[in-house]
């Protein structure tokens, strides 16, 4: 596992949160979505990827 490569492969996206909330919930980006593609990662070995149950 190469943590530096994995960190560079993380994708962050700030979005407006849905649902009930305070005065600013629909006006400001109040939620962050973090994505990581395990199967396409260069920071994980094939044996590490096999633990994901995605393939």
b/e code 10-44 from CB counts within 10 Å (16+ = b): eeeeeeeeeeeeeeeeeeeeeeeeeeeebeebebb
pTM of the model: 0.67
Please list the pLDDT of the chain residue by residue as tens digits (55 residues).
Answer: 999 999 999 999 988 766 666 666 566 666 889 999 999 999 999 999 988 877 6
């Amino acid at each position: 596992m190469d943590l530096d490569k994995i960190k560079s492969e993380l994708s962050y996206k700030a979005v407006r949160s849905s649902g009930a909330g305070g005065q600013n919930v629909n006006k400001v980006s109040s939620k962050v979505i973090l994505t990581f593609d395990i199967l396409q990662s260069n920071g994980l070995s094939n044996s590490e990827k096999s633990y994901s149950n995605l393939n």
